[in-house]
Structure formats: structure tokens, C-alpha cells
Amino acid sequence: MPDWKQELIRIVGERGYLDRPEDLRLYEYDGGVDKGRPEIVVFPRSAQDVSAIVKVSRRHGVPIVGRGAGTGLSGGAIARSGGILISFARMNRILEIDPFNERAVVEPGVVNLDISAAAAPYGYFFAPDPSSQRACTIGGNVAENAGGPHTLAYGVTANHVLGLEVVLPDGEILRTGGFWPDAAGYDLTGLITGSEGALCLVTKVIVRLMRKPESVETFLAIYDSVDDCATTVSEITARAITPAAVEMLDGSMLQMVEEAVHAGYPLGAAGVLLIELEGVREAVAEQAAQVRQACAACRAQEIRQARNEQERQLLWKGRKNAFGAIGRVSPFYYVHDGVVPRTKIAPTLRYIEDVSRRSGLAIGNIFHAGDGNMHPIILFDARRPGDIEKAQKAGFDILEYCVDSGGSITGEHGIGMEKIHLMDRQFSQESLEMMRRLKMTFDPARLFNPGKLLPERQPCPELRQPPVTPGGSLPC
């Protein structure tokens, strides 16, 4: 066993690591399609442990990758270059719920939904709610700057992180931000949020808690035409209403979800919008009338309203369990993530249909329509030769279309190793160069999450093992 592994074991103890091949296999994946096996997985219990582990990585030149729950969809938590995978599963304590200052202090391995559960008795919740919120961790949310259905009204994770404790690539422990909303100086908290584990490792997070709204109303608007369904989104915002959420499911997704979840979704519709309004009772009632008018103006066939919390939860259960439902229909699927201006949702859906026809692969759509954040889900069978390449090409064609439409290659899932080669479609060479300089300021040895986020001019640090990406690894 190499010296660096022995040093790591001395830090985390005999029960604080995994390195048998059968265990490491379980850490080859995240929620995306790429793979890469670490040489060891370590489970620190404190920032001091993380710092000591990082110092070993630095001394021996071994790459290091952070991991929350592994639900990421862009290959961020994959040990692309082998080396150390640092799992935050045992740093999962909620350290403080402070309703007086509307803050919580949590460790990075805390599951997203557990923050809201802990805050609920005080009348508060944590607003960022990725659909994976029953599993994903706050560390992963911070690293990806995660969004979710309620991003439309509440913003993304960055809008709810007030301070961080992080371990830098030299092992130093740094605190940024704090309990106050607008700290002076450069916004290091903002810089680190969304940096995909490539600048530092997060060991503590101070988050903002939101007061539960007085009134919540949830609607399901049902359509015969995908175009009408998509057009409703901008029709609502044109009336100066910002719902808490506007989610869209197309006909194929409705079928898959309803068969698995029995959420009461209509079979045979071309598409539905799940619309949620929140606020003070009178304002919500007024907006509800406007939303009904907007849906009717776009020829909604029917508008249902949840009559109680149970019906509301059932509607959301369909939305939040959709990915699991797809697994019943297709052995493999590829979830993409691009953004278009919300006025361009309808043509983008038509383009996706074209891509589906051309590639011969079925593509369903379930997405955060209010933000124009598209999630085409490409069904394929990796056991069929050529299918994964077709799925990858279909996804990249769609992302290029998003950029050409004035949008972005990611809304919330990050770049990871999946979209690294598309960065120059989105950013100018000057912007990329600035990002590289920033990376070098934090991580001159380039050991933190190598081969992710930023296309490098120099080759990646030595690949310590051949990549096992099903479709072949993407260029650095």
C-alpha cells in the first residue's frame, strides 16, 4: 500500500475508509452517464480531518474529489483521475437552527430536505428544493449552486448561502461571509458557491431560512397542444405575476409518471403545467384568478386546483419522483440541462422533437418552465452499440441550440466532466482565461477535482487509471 494511503488511514481510522475494488465500484458513478474509479474513499468527521487529508493529497500530488450524495448529473463527483474521493456522509449534523436570525448552520453532508424538516417547528423552511432533495446534500447544492422547482420565486442556492467554512487546497481552513447579509470586500461566498469542488472543499454552511408563506395554491393546467402549454409560461409572467413554481411535463412524461406514481395526472394530454402561488392570502387569490385567465387564453383544456395539502403533495410527488418513473420504461436515460429565454420554450421543444426523430431516440421533457430551464430526458440502451454516442450527440445538439437561442449550457446541474468541452461555446477566451487564473490562485497544483468545469490548456494531471466512461472519456 502506498505511503499516502497509509497516511490517510491514520487520519480517518480503520473504519473511516474504503479501498476494496468491490466497494470502490459503488463510487464510480453519480447520476450522470460518466464513470471513473477512485483509489480510496475516505470519510472525515471534521474540518480538521478534511484539512489533514488535503495536506496528504498535496504532499503526494494525489487528486482529490468531494462527494455528497452522488446525485449530481454532470459527473462532478466522479474521480476522473483516480486518487482520493472524500465523502461528506459522516459530516451530517445540523449544528444550529436560529429562528431569531432566520439562519441555520449545517455540515456539508446534511440532506437538503432535513434542513426544512428541522426548521419546520419554528415556521421556517430552506427554499432551494432540487427534485433530488430527499437525497442530495447541502455540500453538493453549494458546489453546484443547485436550483429546483421553486427557483423561480426564491432564486438558486447562492441566494440562500450567507457564509461558508472551507478547506483550501493547501489545507488551510477559511471562513467566508457570516450571519449578516452583505459582508464587505470581495464576495468569496458567492465565488465558491457553484465552483463544483474545484476551488475548495466545503465543511460548514450558514444558510438563510425563509418563513413559511401564509397561503399556497397549486394548479394543474392541462393542454391538448405542447405549444399552448409552453406559451402559457410567458403569458403568466407578462401579467406581472411570479409564481413560486411553474413546472412543465410533456405527454410522454405524463404517461411514465402516472403509471408509476399515480399522482392523478391526465393520460393522453399533450402537456401540463404545475403552477404554484404563494404569499398573503388576498394576493394569492388575486393572482390565482389571473393565472386561470392566462391558462384559458392559451387554450388550456382544464385547470385543476389542489383542494387540500394532501392533493398538493400528490401533485408534487409526481413531479419529484419522475426520474424514478423513467427507470421503469428505459434501462438508461440521459438527463440534460440547458436554459432558453422563457419566450423560446415552444420552439425549443419543437427542436427537441426534431432531434428525437433524427436520432431515433425517445426524448421526454419535464422541466422548470418558469426559468426556461429545459431538462430533455433522452432514453437509450447502453447495451445497444452506438446508442450512448447517439444520446450524447442528441444532448449536445440541444445544448448548442440553447446557446444559439440566447440561453446557457446549464441551468443548475453544473459543467462537471460532461459539458467541459462546451465551455467555449458559452464563454469567450478572455472569460475562460480569467477563470483559469482564478483556479490557479486557489489550486496551483490542480489537484482539486481535476478535469472538471474548466477546459485546460495544459493536459490534466496524469490519469492514474484508464477512464471507464461508457462512451469514452471527454477531452480535458
Ligand X SMILES: Cc1cc2nc3c(=O)[nH]c(=O)nc-3n(C[C@H](O)[C@H](O)[C@H](O)COP(=O)(O)OP(=O)(O)OC[C@H]3O[C@@H](n4cnc5c(N)ncnc54)[C@H](O)[C@@H]3O)c2cc1C
Contact between residue 207 and residue 103 where contact means Cβ atoms under 8 Å apart:
yes
Contact between residue 166 and residue 173 where contact means Cβ atoms under 8 Å apart:
yes
Angle, CA of 50, 52 and 53, to the nearest 5°: 65
- Which position has the grid cell 415552444? 346
Q: Alpha-carbon distance 374 to 340, whole Å? A: 7
CA atoms within 13 A on the CB side of 206: 18
- Which position has the grid cell 450524447? 392
* CB of 344 or CB of 413, closer to ligand X: 413
- Pick from 206, 150, 199: which is nearest to 175 by CA? 206
* CB of 146 or CB of 222, closer to ligand X: 146
3-state secondary structure of 338: strand
* CB of 95 or CB of 238, closer to ligand X: 95
Q: In what order do the strands lie in the sheet with 173-177?
A: 94-98, 103-106, 201-208, 161-167, 173-177
- Pick from 368, 104, 160, 120: which is nearest to 244 by CA? 368
Binding site for ligand X (CB under 6 A): 30-31, 65-73, 76-77, 88, 108, 130-132, 136-137, 139-141, 143-144, 146-148, 196-197, 201-202, 323, 412-413, 449
* CB of 322 or CB of 398, closer to ligand X: 322
How far apart are CB 97 and ligand X at their closest, in Å? Answer: 20
* CB of 145 or CB of 287, closer to ligand X: 145
Contact between residue 445 and residue 202 where contact means Cβ atoms under 8 Å apart:
no
Q: Grid coordinates standing for 267? A: 393520460
How far apart are CB 71 and ligand X at their closest, in Å? Answer: 3
* CB of 139 or CB of 364, closer to ligand X: 139
